[in-house]
Amino acid sequence: MTAPTPTGLADALRAALSDSSLITDPDVLGALDHDDAEWAPAGRPLAALRARSTAEVADAVRACADLRIPVVPRGAGTGLSGGANAVDGCLVLDLSKMNRVLEIDADDMVAVVEPGVVNDDLKAAVAGHGLWYPPDPASAPWSTIGGNVATNAGGLCCLKYGVTREYVLGLEAVVGGPAGAYGTVVKLGRRTAKGVAGYDLTGLFVGSEGTFGVVTQVTLKLRPAPTEPPRTVVGAFDTLVAAGEAVATATREGLQPTALELLDRACLTAVEDWKHLGLEPSAAALLLARVDSPGAWGEHEAAALADAFRRSGASWVEQSTDAVEAEALFAARRLAYPALERLGPVLTEDVCVPRSKVPQMLASTEQIGRRHGVQIATIAHAGDGNLHPLLITPPGDDAARDAAIAAFEEILAGAIALGGTVSGEHGIGLLKRQGMRDELDPGAQAMQRAVKAALDPLDLFNPGKVVGDP
């Protein structure tokens, strides 16, 4: 029997989804076939669909299963590991139009949202009820809750308040496999503060990068909004390693700021050249700490952090409760990645090491950059050991690209050697599959492949990602 042609498959899919508007325009597909991961391969999709409801997603999954068309979900496309990149002949399922906040329950501090809701839009919506959603990746003004769930995103506040998984109480998802026919809609989890009715399937889906099914609704835990402005502590250091020592000191002494972020001189210079925020990027690195404990205890924590910075070799330390000044500094942290992108292609790392090993990892990263002749700028959620070395290459320079890829792999290996992990929050996607294999025990890898096979026996959902063949 002759296999259907791409045109024939597209026609069959269009017929099966006659109530939906399939996208086949090559220019539009070209904008939807990849995320922001530099040099991660992307295939050519058969079509795309901007879904607007769970029912439409279920119909699309059912039709794709019948036609054996892979399904690649995507949100805003801000990912940095290739997790939303198309595979040849797939349907790109764009969920960005499913962007409604369905419910805000102020009594139980719960929100129910669709996956296309932008992180910052959710924060603004719940703030009107005196509530707060803490996970705050640097991409929060653009990234969606569905994408945050797919990668178990963290952010600046996760040092004290935790990552996305800790706020996802329940999910609605379109699945296949043991749940029934492909296109089955399942409800996972709960909306209570506690619950152990069976396995934690909600937790399993968080961080699965769309490989188990398509999340169409998320039930999230909220917190009361802070009542006092945070205190900011800024320390300048003459070396990256000294800044890392300050992080290790703060950890050793049990200090827990809301955020403890690192920016090196290259990042500060790129942001200032672009946005002119009034920064003076003279130090090799800045540490930015934010303390939100109220009253005298907050004052004590801020003073203790400042003292830890000084004892670790800071050239100067300042404390402030000025919200405008503090926001300028943290804006620089959020703008670092797009500012560096203006200089050339940026290959982004996401390693995470034990906090006591931060100085060693920073030193190792500098050595790797020198050894390969690669410019590496570093930003970091330093307080939880999650480092983002950014490898910058001149446009069109193949030799520089090869050097950057070699340095990228060496940084992954260095993190594993220090007892760390190849991804703290960006996900495995396509870029870190070999790194994940180097990190995980063979038995654990076999278990992961078995879970994928059990939940998605057709390998329909985002094939090739995470546990797929390198």
Q: For 74-119, what is each residue's pLDDT tens digit?
A: 999 999 999 999 999 999 999 999 999 999 999 999 999 999 999 9
Residue pair 255/308 in contact by the 8 Å Cβ criterion = yes
| Contact partners, residue 364, CB within 8 Å, separation at least 6 | 411, 414, 418
Burial of 454 (0-12, 13-18, 19+ CB in 10 A): exposed
CA 426 to chain centre: 4
* String of DSSP letters for 174-231: EE-GGGSSTTEEEEEE-SSS---SSS-HHHHHTTSTTSS-EEEEEEEE-EEPPSSPPE
Q: What is the pLDDT of residues 24-74, one digit of tens each?
A: 999 999 999 999 998 999 999 999 999 999 999 999 999 999 999 999 999
Helix axes 6-16, 54-67, angle to 10 degrees: 140
How far apart CA 331 and CA 261 sit, in angstroms, is 12
Average pLDDT of the chain, as a whole number: 94
How far apart CA 51 and CA 315 sit, in angstroms, is 53
pTM of the model: 0.94
How far apart CA 422 and CA 416 sit, in angstroms, is 7
pLDDT at 470 over 70: no
Q: What kind of architecture, by CATH, is found in domain 231-417?
A: 3-Layer(aba) Sandwich (3.40)
The highest-level CATH class for domain 101-224 is alpha beta
At residue 5 the predicted structure's pLDDT band, cuts being 50, 70 and 90, is: confident
In the chain, residues under CATH classification 3.30.465.10 are 101-224
Q: What is the pLDDT of residues 358-388, one digit of tens each?
A: 999 999 999 999 999 999 999 999 999 999 9
In the chain, residues under CATH classification 3.30.43.10 are 6-94
pLDDT at 4 over 80: no
Residue 196's CB: how many other CB atoms inside 10 A?
Answer: 7
The type of residue at 440 is: L
Phi and psi of 358, rounded to 5°?
A: -60, -45
Burial of 323 (0-12, 13-18, 19+ CB in 10 A): exposed
| Contact partners, residue 60, CB within 8 Å, separation at least 6 | 17, 20, 49, 51, 71, 91, 93
In the chain, residues under CATH classification 3.40.462.10 are 231-417
Residue 360: helix, strand or coil by DSSP? helix
Phi and psi of 57, rounded to 5°?
A: -65, -45
| Mean pLDDT score, 444-460 | 96
Q: Which residue has the higher pLDDT, 272 or 199?
A: 199
What per-residue confidence (pLDDT) applies to 178?
79
The highest-level CATH class for domain 6-94 is alpha beta
Q: What is the pLDDT of residues 279-304, one digit of tens each?
A: 777 889 999 999 999 989 999 999 99
pLDDT at 263 over 70: yes
